[in-house]
Each structure stands twice: as C-alpha cells, then as structure tokens.
C-alpha cells in the first residue's frame, strides 16, 4: 500500500467513523427519549390512573420526543465541536495537556539534541515541515505520539523514559513510526476521534452532575423522577462511550499495525523499532504514562499508555512477531538483564558517525521507462538512503541558516529571504514592500541574510524553509496572517518571475494556511474539473525547463497525455503565469489521493522528457509536489528504479 492508497484508506475510515458516530448518537438519543418518556408517562399515570404503553405515550407526545432528541443531539454536537476547536491549536495542545514541554531548538542537552537531530533528519527525508518536539519530562515509561491536524501544525512528543532507555537506532524507529502517522493522515483521524468521543462523554457527565446535585435535596419523593432520569442518562452516556471506545480501539489497532510496517519501510531496518518494543516489554514501567489525560489520547500513542480493557494497540508480542517471526518472548528477560548491567553507565548516546551520502551534484541519472511510477512510489515513502542524504543535508546547512530557523522572528526573516526573486529589480521592490508591511528593521535583516541564502545549494533551500516552520508557529496569529499577506503581496511586485522562488513562496503559503486553518477541508474535485489547471501547470513547467518552444511542447505533451489521454488540452505560452499557476495549484490540491498519484507521474514525465534531470529540476519537482501535499524525499540516483 503506497502513500496515495493510505491517504484514500484514511478518508474512507473517516467516512465510516462519521456513519458509526451518527448511529451512536441516534442510539443514545433514542435511549434518553425512552427514559424521559417512561418517567413522564409514570407521572401521568399517577395523576390520571391510566397507564399507556411507552409507544402510545411517545406517539401522543411527539413534541416531547422531538425536543429531547434535539437536546441530546445538540449537546453531543456542540461538545464535539468545542473539543475539535480546542484541539485546532495543533499538536502542541495535546502535548501540553499531557505535561509536555517544548524542546528548545537551542538545547545543549545531549539526549534532547539527539532527539531533535533525528526528528529533523526524518522531516528532511520525508519532505515535510519540521514538527514541534515536546518532552514529557515526568514520564519514565517508553512512549511517544504524533498529534495535529496536518503536517504544518504537527507535534511529536516523547517521554523521558524514551530518551534515557533507547539508543539512537531505536529512537529513530520510534520517530519513524510517528512520522508514518503524519504521512498517512492518521493525525486528523485521531483528532476527530477525540472530538466525537468527548461529545458522548458529556452526556454521561451531565447525568452524573445532575444526579450528584439532586441527591442532596430534602424532598426525596419529588426529586425521585429527576434522579431516575439523571441516573439513566448517565448510564446511557457511558454505554454510548463504551461503544465509542470499541470503535476507537478497532480503528487504532489497524492504523498502528500499518505505522509499524511503514516505519520499517522508512528506515529499511526493523532492528531499531524491534529493539524499542523489546525494551518496552522488558522495563517495569513499560509504556505507561501517569498523566490522567492519557485515556483521551490513548489511540495516539506509540504503545499503550495504560492498562485498559479496550486495547488501542495490537499485543506487544504480536507486533514483534510481525517484525520478526522468530521472536521469542524470552528476549524480554534477556533485555532486562542487559539493561540492568548497563544501568550504571547512564550516559547520553553519542550521535554515531555516519558515512555521508554522495553529494547531490550535477545531473541525476534519468530513470528508465518506469520512472514516473517509480518516483510517485517515493511519495511518503523515504528509505534508508534518503535518511543518509537528510543527515548529510542537515550537517551541511550553514550555521547562520540553522540559527535563523530556530527563533520566530529570525525564521520569518529567513522565509522572506528564501521567497525573494532572483531578479535584482524585483528584489528591490519586494524588500521595499516587506519594509512597508512588517517594518524597516525586518527588511534590513532580510538583506543581511541574503548572502547566506544565495549561497545555499538547490537541495538545501527546501529543508531550510521547512525547518523554519516550527519557529514560525510561535508567532502570534496576527503576525502569521501579516506574513501570509506579505508573501501574497510580493508576488504582485515581481517583474520576471523565477519559478524556483515562486514555488518556495507557494510552499510557505501552503504551510502557513494549513497552520492557520488546520480543520479546513475543501470539497474534492474530479479530474474533469481541473483540466484548465493541468494545462496551466504543465505549460509553465515545460516552458521553464526547455529553451526552445518545440522542446517545451514535447515535454508538455508527455505529461498531459499521461494524465488526460483523451482530452489533451493544448500547450499555452503564458507570459504572466504566476497568478494563474497560484490558482491552478490550489485547485489541483483538491484532487483525490489516487488522482494525485497520476498527477505526480505526469509531472515526472514532463520534467524528464529531455532524458536529463538536473538537481535544480529535481528540487523544483519536489517543491511543486509538496504544494499539493505529496511530499517527495530527495531524488537521489539510487533511490529511483533505473
């Protein structure tokens, strides 16, 4: 199952969740109706001496039934909406609710530094923004989680036990597992589960609260109907929550198994993830988290955070046997003995020396006939080689760029510097505009950082931008809105537009929008509705990759005919293409995941039509794919099927 199929599966699961949740809400509403109507019918029988059946009473009082139904459905819906809005602040909200503290980008603690390095390498290798990283300092169990609505506002949290117990390879396996949740669309699913279950829980809490308040009254006979209704509502609410937890557990177990498999595919080394799971079984605390909020986020964790009836994860031994069929449970004892032997040598694991991946210089070998499908298969599926390249890129970034990416205001300066056009006249206009919008000091800081930005290699520019995303999230909402407005305005002050700088700017806008509106989801568009957008994107890409018109047309046709074999819209030479392309990319992002797979394949056919792929073209392809939420790892020669 590739990235696009996993995304489609996540969407189907979400639709089924909505259906099951609606059924649960209606069942709860029906049960509450039955209780309310039964109590009211008893009261009427006492007054009149006639005892109608429950069905007769409900038929005779449709207004009461309707009012009760609307009240129950309204309470559940509002509670779910409230919880979803609260969680709209991103993964950091979930991390802080568990007692997590954000790991400073400037930390000198060896274990925290190792954690940040591993997360940053994973982000570079997968083509995603660097998530915020949180440490659950008081938790000694081995556990981790990824939370958020989308990659732009994601956060990864790890316990102190994870840092002190796992070596680098094991930590990398755990982080790869969490990144697979980010890539597979599981985070949004988890947030929705939290919102839906909270709505069911509120019904039970209302019943319990009314029961507690009413039981203290003096006139117990008058309070008895209220007590009965409150008790019944509480029981019904908890029964609804019971079935909600069953749904949660079933969904979570399947996604956890997929995440384990994806993590192994990510690292190409099952020993790291295997070692982490063995240590969970070996240590006394296992994966336990003591925070009382853990029940709510149990389905997000790397391993079960508490002993519970509803298992949100496959059994530990089952997970280990899936990774290694020869696994023997006696390994828990051996690992326990080995960890006891090393207990006195508690030193932070040093980052092992890695052989750097081959520098990405000059031309990347052009894949053969299966190139487009081979590259599309890399979306959301980075390999060990990509991890090596990511580590190489991380180490090669200039200190000035790294330091700038770590703090909110300097990260804003870095993003603006990366977004400037290469044309000197356009740059001057853009810098003046930055001064007008944000301030003269910011414009001066951008000018000062430009020498470092201009010196970046093509493969360093996108990681530099994505690495600044966590710091940009620390800006106030107004500051982020101002930054987004400035990026939009810069486009209108360009003369000749560089496609490379345009795409980086577009990518920054996409992630800022995702962060500002995490729950927003536009209606999907069919391929037939985006033919004009395909024409614009492929025309612009083809004319920027070739010097003569004939070659541009051939490159255009190679991609478009793969995507639209029947319609075949004609090539157009766009002099002012930036704004049409802006609209086209936004609309193409609304394609279904399976259609995006075909889009990526077609883009590869256009870019490689001349039988060569420069590093600049490869990075341009990655940036374009990222703007439509199809993250490609660095395109190294040996990572593509030749």
Q: Between β-strands 132-136 and 613-614, what pairing exists: parallel, antiparallel or unpaired?
A: unpaired
Report the catalytic residues.
178
Cβ atoms 410, 403 nearer than 8 A: yes
User: To which residue do tokens 């795409």 refer?
Assistant: 503
d(CA 275, CA 281): 10
Compute the C-alpha angle 248/630/624, nearest 5°. Answer: 155
d(CA 506, CA 487): 8
Residue 190 tokens read as 């988890």
The alpha carbon dihedral of 530, 531, 532, 536 has a sign of positive
Phi-psi region of 49 (alpha: psi -120 to 50; beta: other; left: phi over 0): left
State which H helix or E strand residue 23 sits in.
helix 3-48
For residue 98, report the phi and psi dihedrals to the nearest 5 degrees: -95, 5
Compute the C-alpha angle 237/243/248, nearest 5°. Answer: 120
d(CA 18, CA 24): 10
For residue 525, report the phi and psi dihedrals to the nearest 5 degrees: -110, 140
> What is the three-class DSSP state of 613?
strand
d(CA 598, CA 595): 5
Long-range contact pairs involving 561-566 (C-beta distance under 8 Å, separation at least 24): 562/372, 562/598, 562/601, 562/602, 562/605, 563/527, 563/534, 563/598, 563/599, 563/601, 563/602, 564/527, 564/531, 564/534
């Amino acid at each position: 199952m590739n990235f696009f199929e996993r995304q489609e599966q996540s969407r189907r699961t979400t639709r089924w969740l909505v259906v099951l949740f609606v059924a649960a809400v209606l069942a709860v509403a029906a049960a509450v109706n039955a209780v309310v109507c039964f109590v009211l019918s008893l009261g009427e029988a006492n007054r009149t001496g006639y005892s109608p059946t429950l069905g007769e009473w409900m038929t005779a009082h449709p207004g009461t039934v309707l009012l009760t139904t609307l009240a129950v459905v309204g309470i559940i819906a509002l509670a779910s909406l409230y919880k979803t809005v609260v969680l709209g602040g991103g993964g950091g909200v979930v991390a802080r609710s568990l007692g997590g503290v954000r790991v400073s980008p400037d930390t000198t603690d060896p274990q925290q530094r190792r954690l940040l390095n591993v997360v940053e390498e994973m982000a570079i290798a997968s083509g995603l923004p660097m998530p915020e990283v949180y440490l659950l300092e008081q938790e000694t169990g081995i556990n981790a989680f990824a939370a958020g609505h989308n990659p732009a506002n994601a956060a990864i949290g790890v316990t102190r036990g994870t840092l002190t117990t796992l070596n680098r390879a094991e930590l990398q396996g755990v982080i790869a597992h969490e990144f697979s949740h980010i890539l597979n669309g599981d985070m949004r699913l988890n947030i929705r589960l939290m919102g839906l279950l909270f709505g069911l829980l509120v019904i039970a809490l209302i019943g319990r609260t009314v029961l507690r308040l009413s039981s203290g009254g003096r006139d117990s006979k008058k309070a008895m109907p209220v007590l009965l209704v409150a008790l019944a509502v509480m029981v019904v609410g908890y029964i609804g929550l019971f079935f909600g937890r069953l749904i949660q557990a079933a969904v979570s177990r399947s996604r956890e198994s997929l995440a384990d498999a994806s993590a192994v595919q990510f690292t190409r080394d099952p020993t790291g993830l295997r070692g982490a799971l063995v240590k969970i079984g070996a240590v006394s605390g296992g994966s336990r988290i003591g925070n009382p909020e853990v029940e709510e986020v149990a389905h997000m964790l790397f391993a079960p955070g508490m002993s519970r009836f509803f298992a949100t994860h496959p059994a530990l031994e089952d997970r280990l046997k899936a990774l290694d069929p020869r696994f023997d449970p006696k390994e828990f004892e051996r690992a326990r003995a080995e960890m006891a032997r090393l207990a006195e040598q508690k030193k932070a694991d040093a980052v092992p020396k890695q052989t750097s991946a081959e520098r990405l210089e000059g031309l990347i070998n052009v894949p053969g006939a299966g190139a487009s499908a081979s590259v599309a298969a890399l979306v959301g599926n980075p390999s060990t080689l990509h991890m090596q390249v990511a580590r190489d890129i991380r180490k090669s970034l200039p200190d000035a760029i790294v330091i700038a990416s770590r703090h909110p205001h300097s990260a804003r300066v870095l993003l603006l510097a990366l977004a400037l056009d290469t044309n000197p006249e356009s740059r001057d206009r853009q810098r003046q505009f930055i001064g007008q919008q944000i301030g003269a000091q910011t414009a001066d800081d951008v000018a000062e950082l430009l020498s470092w930005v201009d010196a970046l290699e093509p493969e360093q520019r996108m990681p530099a931008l994505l690495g600044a995303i966590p710091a940009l999230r620390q800006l106030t909402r107004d500051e982020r809105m101002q930054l987004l407005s400035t990026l939009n305005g810069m486009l209108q002050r360009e003369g000749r537009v560089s496609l490379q700088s345009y795409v980086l700017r577009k990518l920054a806008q996409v992630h800022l929008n995702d962060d500002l509106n995490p729950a927003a989801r536009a209606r999907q568009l069919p391929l037939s509705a985006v033919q004009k957008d395909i024409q614009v994107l492929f025309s612009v890409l083809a004319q920027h990759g070739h010097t003569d018109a004939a070659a541009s047309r051939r490159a255009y046709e190679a991609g478009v005919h793969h995507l639209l074999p029947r319609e075949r819209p004609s090539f157009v030479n766009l002099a002012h293409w930036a704004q049409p392309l802006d609209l086209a990319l936004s609309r193409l992002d609304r394609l279904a995941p399976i259609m995006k797979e075909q889009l990526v394949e077609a883009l590869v056919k256009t870019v490689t039509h001349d039988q060569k792929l420069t590093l600049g073209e490869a990075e341009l392809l990655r940036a374009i794919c990222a703007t439509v939420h199809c993250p490609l790892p660095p395109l190294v020669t040996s990572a593509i099927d030749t």
